[in-house]
Amino acid sequence: MPDRPAMTPEQLQAGAAAIEWFHRIDLGSGITTAGRDDSPRKLIEIRMPEELRGRSVLDIGAYDGFFSFEAERRGAARVLAIDNWGRPECSPKAGFEFAKRALGSRVEDRTVDVYDLSPETVGVFDVVLFLGVLYHLRHPLLGLERVASVTGDLLILETHVDLLDHRRPVMAFYPGDELGGDSTNWWGPNVAAVLDMLRTVGFRRLDVVRAPAREGFLHRALRSVFNAFTKGYRLHDTQRWGRMIVHARKT
C-alpha cells in the first residue's frame, strides 16, 4: 500500500477547497473532494475487477485520477494515468497532483495524447480504462485503434451514445457545443457503431455492461400522434441518447 504523507486534516481541507474538482475522491480524515462527477457510483457501474494484484492498469483521460488511485488500491502492480493535462481545452492537473500527494500514491503519470499511444510509447497493459473519452475525439476510430494497441487483456470503455433509434452503425456529429454545452464533445456514436468500431480494431469478445434501451415502435408511434395533435408542447424522444459501458477483449 502507498505511504500516506504527514498532512493534517486542516491541510487536506484547505488544499482540496482551493481546487475545482471533477472526481469525488476520498482523501481520508473524512474529507472527500467536491467533484461534480459521482465517481463512486460510476466505479460500481463500470465493474472494474475487484482484484488487480500483480496486474498493470492504464487510465486514459485520468483527469483527477479517481480510477487510477482505485486501481492502485485494488493491488495493481503498475498504474499509469495519462491525460492532455495543461492544454487550454483539457483538464487541469492540480487535482491529480494534490490527490496523489494526499494519498501517498505511487501512480505514474504522463501527458500523452490518445493518438500517440503505442506499445513503444507507453507499453501494453493488462487492463485499460477508457472512460468518457471516445466522444471527445475528433477521430474516434483512429483513437480506438491506438487504444487497442496497448490493451493486453481487458478494455473497459464508457461513452456517450446517440441516435438510439438506428439499428445500423451511425454517429451524430456535434460541430458546436450541442452536447452539454461543451465544444470538445464531437461525436455521438450509437450502440451498433461502438460495437462495430471495437470489432474493427481487433476486439472479439464484447460484453455490454450497460446500454440505454432503444425506443420501441409503440412509443414512437404514440409520440408522433401526440406531437401531431398538440399545439405549443411537444413530447420529445427521451431515449435519444444515453451512456454505454463495454468490457472488450481480443480473445
pLDDT tens readout for residues 1-50: 555 556 889 999 999 999 999 999 999 999 999 999 999 999 999 999 99
- Going from the C-alpha of 203 to that of each of 106, 154, 200, the distances in angstroms are 30, 10, 7
Q: Which residue has the cell 460484453?
A: 207
Contact 189, 242 (CB under 8 A): no
* Residue ranges covered by each domain of the chain: 9-215+241-249
CA distances from 31 to 43, 68, 142, 168 (A): 19, 19, 40, 47
| d(C-alpha 89, C-alpha 105), whole Å | 27
Q: How many angstroms from the chain centroid is the CA of residue 193?
A: 17
What is the SS3 assignment for 36? coil
Query: How confident is the model at residue 235, as a pLDDT?
Result: 40
Within a 10 A sphere around the Cβ of 18, how many other Cβ atoms? 9
Q: Per this entry, what is the length of the chain? A: 251
Give the architecture-level CATH label for domain 9-215+241-249: 3-Layer(aba) Sandwich (3.40)
CA distance 217 to 207: 26
First and final CA of the chain: distance in angstroms?
32
pLDDT the model gives residue 151: 98
Residue 6's pLDDT is what? 66
Dist CA 129 CA 246 (whole Å): 11
Specify burial of residue 54 (Cβ count, 10 A radius: 0-12, 13-18, 19+). Answer: exposed
Residues in the chain, pLDDT under 50: 219, 232-239
Give the 3-state secondary structure of residue 78: strand
> What pLDDT, on a 0 to 100 scale, did the predictor assign at position 2?
52
Task: For residue 192, give the DSSP letter.
Answer: H
Q: Alpha-carbon torsion 141, 143, 145, 147, what sign?
A: negative
Alpha-carbon radius of gyration of the chain: 20
Angstrom distance (rounded) from CA 162 to CA 214: 10
Distance between CA atoms of residues 246 and 92, nearest Å: 27
